[in-house]
Amino acid sequence: MAQNIVTEATPYRTRPTMPPVLRGFLWAAIGFLVLNMATIAVDPFRGHPFITEISAVIGWVGGVIGWLLGVGGWEGVVLPLFGVPNPWVAAPGWRKYLELSTEHKVIGIQYLISSTGTFGIAGLLAMGIRYELMQPSLHFFTYPDQYLTAVGVHGTLMMFAVGTVALVGGLGNYMVPLMIGAKGTVFPRLSGIGHWLVPAGVLTVIFSPLFGYWTTGWRGYEPLASQDPSGIIYYYLGVAALTLSSTCVAVNLAATIVFHRSNGVTWARLPLFVWGILTVSLLNLIWLPEIQMTFVLGLLDRLVPFNFFDAIGSPLNYLSLFWLFGHPEVYIVVVPALALWNEIIPVMAQKSLFGRSWAVIGLIFVMMLSGLVWAHHMFTNMRNSEMFPFSFFTEMISIPTGFSFLAAIGTLWKSRYRLFTPGLLVIMSMFNFLVGGLTGVFLADPPVNLEVHNTFFVVAHFHYTIIGGMVFTWVAAMYYWIPKLSGRMYNEFWGKLLAIVIFIGFNGAFSQMFLLGLHGMNRWVPAYPPYLKPMNYEVSLFAFLLGAGFIGHGIHLWWTWVKGPVTPDNPWNGRTLEWLTTSPPPPENFNGEVLVTGSFYRYDIDKPAAVLHPPE
């Protein structure tokens, strides 16, 4: 927000003495050492090493605080809290992405960079996993727990730093205020500090193996976690930082949507993507604290130690607590993607959105039902009587999910659909998510589930929903909005070619995993019976193609950002508010007051949905 940024020459120091990220690392190290030593000092059992499991936890808290203050939290959050104005001028150029910011567009780009970087790291781990699985025995990883740690870090990062973050913290932060005609967000400092929890969490998870390989995968199942070496602690803590970041985003964006809509943006006119972000924010506000408390229990179970989740307590409690969050989580990932389909399709088709209210009802009912289905992850270990309600709700949730297809299909009928890269990727994403959704119906049936649970059938199913649904839509949305983010246009040939590459790579790899699962390939194995090798070998080849395709998209989007040809403000002829302003938008989003008078999704009306009154 502008009031936090001093734009004129001031008597204050205008720049920190060292780059904020560097200072962040330094202060993190200091914070860690201070709290670590404080813990050691009060340790009643002297003679422990300098870093113990307990001091590592408390030291980590100091490290994160140091990091947040170092990247700009001291000047941007703490000093203003005590009435001292922020002495910083926002850095010019690319440097503003490497320090605390309070402007939602900068924060959005920061989240996108963090998510993309994490996607690259976790994707490389996936390549390592697939390389290992080209042979039926250990040949790439040295130890099986090394492989299991790779799987765990891959899953943890992809879920908590990419799936939950890219469309919400990234595009949500950037686009939601623009789409509702707001000049900023309600809690800009909270939002700014929230982003810097992502690198903290990601680094914590990436370096967790230094404290010992943990073997549980991203779910941290007990009692196995109690047995694991200390690395598991940094899994809990890394996830704590990442989920806290998403909580900040949820608070900020939900409040912004409720309180900062411009004149005429009524609930009935609210754009689809904004509905998606609002429902996801509510899901985040309900379920992220739940998983954080679960991980606190897991951590205490280990450190104290309690016996919450072992044979003396109840392992099943941990499973329920985990999936109580874990299943809403997949809707947290995919609901913004479903909303984006119906944001992009009407623009590409230049046709009025069909059944808008059904599309919104679908998102809301998915949100509400998603908390009632968790135990379908536990058909192999629950009481028989519990199978009825959970299979019922799991089958029913496909109905509101289908409403997104209903609206998209109705809109596409008899349209003049422009097959630009975003349009093509949305169609591909619909196909992929269809496969993911329909295989979910099989998994909802307990007798079938009992055979394919914990096999590659499930691995294929959820990658179809998450890569196929969310990541494909993320790429589509990046192509759709890159002209708005940068004022520049991508290359249509490369965009389409790379879209086809990832489509072939993705489907080639994951469709065969269904067959592998049905043929007896279980999960979490760096070694498997040799009869499964040929198909695994093929899957890996397609997976490498997929990885190369994603790298290609990254390079192409980067090229667009830096060197793409300059494009007009509204290249797609869209009607939503982000297209009303310049590309990229000015610091306060709109040069004037926005007044919305019509629907964003009616292409039978010539009058624009909104007007921009220039400042007087």
Q: Confirm if 309 and 222 have CB atoms less than 8 A apart.
A: yes
Q: Confirm if 334 and 466 have CB atoms less than 8 A apart.
A: yes
Toward another protein, which CB reaches closer, 65 or 158?
158
Does 575 sit near another protein (CB under 8 A)? no
**Which residue, chain included where needed, has tokens 């007896």?**
520
Whole-angstrom distance, CA of residue 24 vs CA of residue 147: 32
Choices 5-13, 250-258, 335-343, 512-520; region in contact with another protein by CB under 8 A: 512-520
Q: Which of 142, 604, 614, 615 binds another protein (CB under 8 A)?
A: 604
**Residue from 243, 60, 221 nearest 152 by CA:** 221
Q: How far is the CB of 599 from another protein (least distance, A)?
A: 9
Q: How far is the CB of 523 from another protein (least distance, A)?
A: 7
Q: How far is CA 609 from the centre of its chain?
A: 31
Does 316 sit near another protein (CB under 8 A)? yes
**What DSSP element (H or E) covers 595?**
strand 593-596
Q: Which of 333, 444, 477, 539 binds another protein (CB under 8 A)?
A: 444
Q: How far is the CB of 261 from another protein (least distance, A)?
A: 22
Instruction: Tell me which residues in 522-551 interact with another protein (CB under 8 A).
Output: 522-529, 531
Structure tokens at 244: 């806290």
Q: Confirm if 149 and 209 have CB atoms less than 8 A apart.
A: yes
Whole-angstrom distance, CA of residue 58 vs CA of residue 35: 6
Whole-angstrom distance, CA of residue 611 vs CA of residue 594: 6
Phi first, then psi: what are they for 488, rounded to 5°?
Answer: -125, 160
Q: Is the dihedral of CA 15, 20, 26, 32 positive or negative?
A: positive
Does 608 sit near another protein (CB under 8 A)? no
Q: Confirm if 394 and 366 have CB atoms less than 8 A apart.
A: no
Does 569 sit near another protein (CB under 8 A)? no
Instruction: Tell me which residues in 348-367 interact with another protein (CB under 8 A).
Output: 349-356, 358
Does 415 sit near another protein (CB under 8 A)? yes
Instruction: Tell me which residues in 179-198 interact with another protein (CB under 8 A).
Output: none
Toward another protein, which CB reaches closer, 121 or 443?
443
Q: Which of 80, 87, 144, 592 binds another protein (CB under 8 A)?
A: 144
Does 504 sit near another protein (CB under 8 A)? no
Toward another protein, which CB reaches closer, 569 or 588?
569
454: left (phi over 0), alpha (psi -120 to 50) or beta: left
Toward another protein, which CB reaches closer, 196 or 354?
354
Choices 51-59, 167-175, 186-194, 343-351; region in contact with another protein by CB under 8 A: 343-351
Q: Confirm if 495 and 557 have CB atoms less than 8 A apart.
A: no
Q: How far is the CB of 213 from another protein (least distance, A)?
A: 8
Q: Which of 12, 143, 259, 267 binds another protein (CB under 8 A)?
A: 143
| Three-state secondary structure call for residue 10 | coil
Choices 38-46, 231-239, 310-318, 497-505; region in contact with another protein by CB under 8 A: 310-318
Instruction: Tell me which residues in 457-486 interact with another protein (CB under 8 A).
Output: none
Residue 183 neighbours by CB distance under 10 Å: 18
Whole-angstrom distance, CA of residue 300 vs CA of residue 576: 48
Q: How far is the CB of 595 from another protein (least distance, A)?
A: 23
Does 431 sit near another protein (CB under 8 A)? yes
DSSP symbols for 397-408: THHHHHHHHHHH
**Residue from 461, 606, 603 nearest 523 by CA:** 461
Q: Confirm if 307 and 276 have CB atoms less than 8 A apart.
A: no
Whole-angstrom distance, CA of residue 45 vs CA of residue 117: 42
Toward another protein, which CB reaches closer, 529 or 565?
529
Toward another protein, which CB reaches closer, 107 or 224?
224
Q: Which of 296, 368, 441, 555 binds another protein (CB under 8 A)?
A: 441
Instruction: Tell me which residues in 384-413 interact with another protein (CB under 8 A).
Output: 384, 387-388, 391-392, 395-396, 398-399, 402, 405-406, 409-410, 412-413
Q: How far is the CB of 121 from another protein (least distance, A)?
A: 22
Q: How far is the CB of 90 from another protein (least distance, A)?
A: 37
Binding mask 224-263 for another protein (x = CB under 8 A): x-xx------------------------------------
Does 315 sit near another protein (CB under 8 A)? yes
Phi first, then psi: what are they for 373, rounded to 5°?
Answer: -120, 0
| Three-state secondary structure call for residue 105 | helix
